[in-house]
Chain A
Amino acid sequence: MTGFLDSLFNGLALGSVYALIALGFVTIFKASGVLSFTHGSLLLLGGYLVAVLHDDLGFAGALAVAVLVTAAVAGVLDRLVLQRVGGSDPHAAHIQTIVTIGIDIVLVTDLARRIGGDLLPLGDPWGDAVTDLGPVTVADSRVAAILVSAVAIGGAFALFRFTPWGLSLRAAAEDREAAALMGVRLTRVRTVAWCLAGGLAALAAVFLVAFPAPGLERTTGQIALKAFPAAILGGMTSPVGALVGSMLIGLTEAFVAGYQSDLHVLGEGFGDVAPYAVMVLVLLVRPAGLFAAKGAARV
């Protein structure tokens, strides 16, 4: 029973961190139709900034700077590079998706070169402390992950729902042409979307490398790839779907890892790849994800 609760809690914590990343994917996809492969490097950038700056600015200051800088970098990349690619090509979003891969290669190479083989500590206040919650012992970093993610995600949902930008974003996702005719500035909407996604990625980095993970390393960015199944499961255009998908992915990973001894048929470390297996199974049944809106196709 303790094992079950442990896995449940770990899954929720993991899921809430994935949700931060997946929400970024969904926001970008809604605004621009681009699948961002740059997220791994944005995440790494956020983590790296916190690791470098926390000595001088303190953890909170470093985190604030990291979130702002990463958001700015994401926005600038969109404005100066991505929006100039493709032009009026009907497949512009596809081409831009591949450009994000190119950007990711450059950024990751540079950050990995700076990080080298080191493990960088982030200087987070919760360290390796644990709290007893009834029968289970939980790491403070995970409690913090759940709480902070809940606040950040709540904030993002409020942005979608109550601000003029959120309205523009939803309109753009519904029908880009009609939204543009109604006076929605698509370029501005998508740049803000990229900024939001970048900030969320930087925030996620802090919790991905917190205890029990050893610290920031050059491969940390690859974890962002696990949020892809989460976003796809939810249907790519639905923030609620991304949330549900992230929880599903987090719980799957935690439970497979927790019950690994019973699942040894599947091999060591199957927990790391289980999210992808779940994704394939879901796509078999629902090729457009769980929460995708049904749309009519026009010629």
Chain B
Amino acid sequence: MSDLRPLLRTCGPYLLTALLLCALPFYLDAFWLRIGLFSMAAAIGAVGLGLLSGTAGQLSLGHAFFLAVGAYGYVWLAGEPGPGLPPALAVVLAVLLAGAAGGLFSPVAGRVKGVYLGVATLALVFLGHHVLLTADSVTGGFNGRSVPPLELGGFTFAESDPELTVLGVPFGGEERLWYLGLALFALTWFTARGLLRGRPGRALVALRDSETAASVMGVHVARYRSAAFVLSSMYAGLAGVLLALSFRRVVPDYFSLALSVDYLAMIVIGGLGSVAGATAGAVFVTALPLLMTRYADQLPLVAAPGSGGGSIGPTEASRYLYGAAIVVILLYAPDGLHGLARRTRARLRRRPPVTGPPGTGPSPGPAGATTTDTSDTTARAKEHTP
């Protein structure tokens, strides 16, 4: 019995979260499920970008391009015109295709660093957008293409075929895709964390902190940089596929520079170099405009969409909030939501139960606050990986 306890302690939170997430489709309507779906897709992409920009320290503004490669890759491979492959195979190939696209860019990605790479990857977004608009036969041009539903062993992730009702809840497209998204997100979560905590993660962090020192320690600089880039584009490709499945139509204008900036904002708001942070940032950035639009009439200072004039619409309000969130978070918590959570947790844990039973809410005195602060910084300096 006592052998099980540590296992339960590490797995318990995961199991609880997983159970909760699996139960949600029975209680939420399609609007919330769609928010969840987009958030999960964004989280997969953000984890990929976090690996590159947060852990390896390489600024990339080309993420939208790799999302597009994944999305369009799936649509073309599984659809007509196109080879019309089985959709499940098309998903795998689309992810590999995004990785290959990242690999093709690796002569640049492996050698160019920091802000230079950021600008170099700008090129990918603009060139990619141009290709999406002009290569009509593959991408459908300006109007885009509709996305064939995913099919796995006779089970279709769409409204019907087969009709499905579980515990009295009709399972439509959103409910089915929710579980697909959860599975893919779990895959992303565990692979990325495993990677970051293992040898490659350490090598990338060393590379970020000092290129020269890392190469002296035996880290192959160009190879690791390229590998991080390829891997991040594969995650982006997977996110692109999931996005395409949830949107049911892909259009070139979605995959613009603004989307790349969104992903950058996600990992920054969440906290660079952390998988959980990237996820939190993804949910924040994705859900904010959708919720703002939905509840525009109940918010102060925000006008309902289409009311025109000089008033602030929900889209604009969410852009203001989101731009300001980037600035404010970096100003006051440069390590993002993840760092904030970690510091709060550390502070709670370290508070000694001196007087009375726990739970009476001891007030943090100024002296106590300073000591916890200093010990926090030493703890942070040692631990870079999440």
Q: A: which residues have CB within 8 A of B?
A: 29, 35, 81, 84-87, 89-91, 94-95, 97-99, 101-106, 109-110, 113-114, 222, 225, 228-229, 231-232, 236, 266-270, 272-273, 276-277, 279-280, 283-284, 287-289, 297-299
B216 touches A299 (CB 8 A): yes
Chain B: interface residue total (CB-CB under 8 A): 48
Q: Given A105-B323, A109-B316, verify A287-B134 contact (CB < 8 Å).
A: no
Cross-chain contact B112 with A287 (CB below 8 angstroms)? yes
Q: How far is the CA of A58 from the CA of B20 in the complex (A)?
A: 65
| B15 touches A (CB below 8 Å) | no
A105 to B134, CA, bound (A): 29
A280 to B65, CA, bound (A): 15
Distance of A98 Cα from B122 Cα, bound (Å):
15
Cβ proximity bits B306-317 to A, threshold 8 Å, 1 near / 0 not? 000010100010
Footprint of A on B, CB under 8 Å?
57, 59, 107-108, 111-116, 118-120, 122-123, 126-127, 129-131, 133-135, 209-213, 216, 257, 261, 264-265, 268, 310, 312, 316, 319-320, 322-327, 330-331, 334
Q: Is the CB of B108 within 8 A of A101?
A: no
| Known contacts A35-B119, A98-B330, A287-B111, A276 near B323 by CB under 8 Å | no
The minimal Cβ–Cβ distance linking A37 to chain B, given in whole angstroms, is 8
Cα(A231)–Cα(B326), bound, Å: 25
Most chain A CB neighbours (cut-off 10 Å) among B108, B115, B210, B264: B115
Residues from chain B with a CB closer than 8 A to the CB of A91 are 57
Report the tally of A-B residue pairs with Cβ distances under 8 A. 131
Question: Which residue of the partner chain, among A109, A272, A273, A283, contacts B323 with CB atoms under 8 Å?
Answer: A109
Among A89, A98, A114, point to the contact of B268 (Cβ < 8 A): A98
B65 nearest CB across to chain A (Å): 11
**Cβ of A261 to closest chain B Cβ, rounded Å:** 15
A190 to chain B, nearest CB (A): 16
Inter-chain contact A86/B334, CB cutoff 8 Å: yes
Q: Are A94 and B123 touching (Cβ within 8 A)?
A: no
Interchain residue pairs with CB less than 8 A apart (14)? A97-B115, A98-B326, A101-B326, A106-B319, A106-B323, A106-B327, A109-B319, A109-B323, A225-B122, A273-B127, A273-B129, A276-B127, A284-B108, A287-B116
| B267: nearest chain-A partner, CB-CB | A98
- The answer on a CB contact under 8 Å between B119 and A99 is no
Instruction: Give chain A residues whose Cβ lies under 8 Å from the Cβ of B112.
Output: 283, 287-288
At the interface, is chain B mostly helix, strand, loop or mixed?
helix
- The residue that A98 contacts in the complex, of B114, B210, B264, B312, with Cβ under 8 A, is B264
Residues of A within 8 A of B115 (CB): 29, 35, 94, 97, 236
In the docked arrangement, what's the CA distance between A226 and B326, Å? 24
**Contact with B330, one of A95, A106, A231, A236 (Cβ below 8 angstroms):** A95
Q: Are A105 and B261 in contact (CB under 8 A)?
A: yes
Do B323 and A102 touch (CB < 8 A)? yes
Closest CB of chain A to B98's CB: distance in Å?
18
Contact between B116 and A288 (Cβ–Cβ < 8 Å)? yes
Asked if A106 and B213 sit within 8 Å, CB to CB, the answer is: no
Give bound CA distance, A298 to B212, whole Å: 7
